[in-house]
Each structure stands twice: as C-alpha cells, then as structure tokens.
Amino acid sequence: MPELPEVETLRRDLSSLVLGEQISSVSVTNLRSIRAHTSAEEFSLPLLGSTIVAISRKGKFLSFTLNPRKGRRFALVAHMGMSGQMRNFAVGDDFPKHSHIRLELAGGSCLVFVDPRTFGQMYLDELDHFEFAASLARLGVDPLNQAELVGQAVERYFQSGVGVKWLMLDQSIICGIGNMYADEILFRSHLRFDRPGRSLDSRERGELACAIPEVLNEAVALRGSSLRDLQYRDVNGAIGGYQKMHLAYGREGQECLRCSGFIERIFLKGRSSFLCRSCQR
C-alpha cells in the first residue's frame, strides 16, 4: 500500500509534469474508483476545462487544486488504497490493465489512475480557507509538511495504553504512516509494536519522535518502497529504492542487521508485524 513516501514521490514528479495543464477530456471506466459520486458525469463535468494550479499532499492523500473556467477553485483528491498508481502517458499510448480513470491534458499527456484491487479512489472536494481539500482536515499532523508539530502529536501516543504501532496507524494523530513504515520506525526506535504508548520512558520517547521523520525522509530520498508484488510504481512505471534499506519489514527469518537475533513475523489484528525480539523491547 502506498504510504507517505510513495505519495510524496508522486506529488513531486507530477508537479514537474502537469502543473499549469488544462484537462481536456475525462474518462471513467470503473465507477468504484469514483464511488463518492453518483455518476461519471458528476465527477467529470467540473474537471473539463479546469487547470491544475497546485498539487499538495496530506498523509497518503494527493490533492490537485483546480481552477475552473468559471466559478471557484476546487480540489481533486486521490487516495491510492492498496494498489493505486498515478501514471503519466502520452495520449494514444497503450494503457495498462485496470486503468480506471483517464484525464487527458491539453498539452498531449494523459494522467491515468491504475488500480487493480480498486480500494483506491478519486473524488472532487471543496477547498478550505487554507486552499486545502476540506475532507483532509480530519487527518492529524503530516510529519513532512508540519514537522514542527510532530513532537506535540507524538505526546498523544504517550498518554495512551494502546500499542504504539496501532497509535502510529491512527491517521487522526499523525498521518501518512502505514504498516510498512510503522515497522521500520519501530525497529529504529528499538521498540516492540505492542508496547503501550504510556509505558515508554523518556529515552524511548525521544527515539520514536526522531525516528518518524528520519525514516520517512530517507524513504522519500530513495523514491519510496516497491515490494515483491511491485504494485507501487512511480508516474513513469519505475519502482522505488527504499525496499533495499528495510531492516525489519519483509525480512522474516533473516538475521537482524543490528544484533545476533532474527526477524520474526507476527500476525495480529489482520496485519503482519516484523520485529527482532532481541533488540526491540
């Protein structure tokens, strides 16, 4: 599932490709990908003739700010779900299977939303007075865009009796972390996934607060992680590079690279957690 680093990579690439472009044609071939709308027309009509004037991100959501020919600016929001990709093609190219939404741009390129598992979606939204998609206000602090607020947000973890991994996955506190980066952050912090937030001592609290932005920034620098299913691809179809740096996620049965232990995989609450019991306490 694309998490913050993968979506930030998309945002950066798209900003250099489609900013200032006008949408000339919209095609929707799977209504599940626009399930917030009652019809393809309701989704498509406001987009036609609109110009992309900004591309922002909060957590795992991408938001295009659109300037219509008439009326007020609005947002086109995209969430990649489990397997969503936002790809850039030339008009006339062969599109991959599961290309559910196509936005043709006046400059001759085509933005394509590809999503085999259809958990992702795109929808139109109002902008709030910060020119941000209104529906994203429910999300907590973004660890890249609001780095100065991460320390305060993490304090909420330390008041809770819930396991620290589940707190990191709660998008209303800090947004953008999913199962994969939670495991990498916990490994770097020497913490088990099920340690209650309020059981952490001051050294552990400090390590966790530092590890969150560190791991995410390092992953952005390597253009995100593509796992064995290769379902994360960038706008040009290339894979990321951070999976080679994973120390916990996906390494079950392998030696811990920090101590003499082994990485274990544990299934809990419908998710896999990867950890080394010898050096994560």
The whole-angstrom separation of Cα 224 and Cα 230 is 12
Binder among 170, 261, 271, 272 for Zn ion (CB under 5 A): 261
Closest to Zn ion by CB, 36 or 259: 259
C-beta separation of 120 from 81 below 8 A = yes
Interface stretch with Zn ion, choices 12-20, 152-160, 192-200, 260-268 (CB under 5 A): 260-268
Interface stretch with Zn ion, choices 42-50, 133-141, 247-255, 257-265 (CB under 5 A): 257-265
Residue 38 CB: number of other CB atoms within 10 A? 10
Q: How far is the CB of 261 from Zn ion (least distance, A)?
A: 4
Binder among 12, 258, 265, 271 for Zn ion (CB under 5 A): 258
Residue 73 CB: number of other CB atoms within 10 A? 15
Q: Which of residues 172-231 bind Zn ion (CB under 5 A)?
A: none
Size of the site for Zn ion (CB under 5 A): 7
How far is the first Cα of the chain from the last one, in angstroms, to the nearest whole number?
27
Contact between 34 and Zn ion per CB under 5 A = no
The whole-angstrom separation of Cα 60 and Cα 253 is 30
Closest to Zn ion by CB, 152 or 254: 254
Task: Tell me, yes or no, if 271 is annotated catalytic.
Answer: yes
What region, left, alpha or beta, does residue 131 occupy, with left being phi > 0 and alpha being psi -120 to 50 degrees?
Answer: left
Interface stretch with Zn ion, choices 108-116, 212-220, 226-234, 249-257 (CB under 5 A): 249-257
Token code pair at residue 216: 């995410």
The whole-angstrom separation of Cα 239 and Cα 262 is 27
Closest to Zn ion by CB, 214 or 264: 264
Give the H/E segment covering residue 209: helix 202-221
Closest to Zn ion by CB, 125 or 264: 264
Closest to Zn ion by CB, 79 or 251: 251
Binder among 221, 245, 259, 268 for Zn ion (CB under 5 A): 259
Task: Tell me, yes or no, if 184 is annotated catalytic.
Answer: no
The whole-angstrom separation of Cα 84 and Cα 157 is 30
Residue type, position 234, single letter: D
Q: Choosing from 192, 205, 265, 271, which is the catalytic residue? A: 271
Q: Tell which residue, 88, 103, 68, 101, has the closest CA to residue 236.
A: 88
Task: Tell me, yes or no, if 58 is annotated catalytic.
Answer: no
Interface stretch with Zn ion, choices 77-85, 154-162, 176-184, 252-260 (CB under 5 A): 252-260
Q: If you compute the radius of gyration of the chain from its CA atoms, what whole number of angstroms results? A: 20
Task: Tell me, yes or no, if 2 is annotated catalytic.
Answer: yes
Task: Please give the residue ranges that form the binding site for Zn ion (CB under 5 A).
Answer: 256, 258-259, 261, 276, 278-279
Which of the residues are catalytic? 2-3, 60, 271
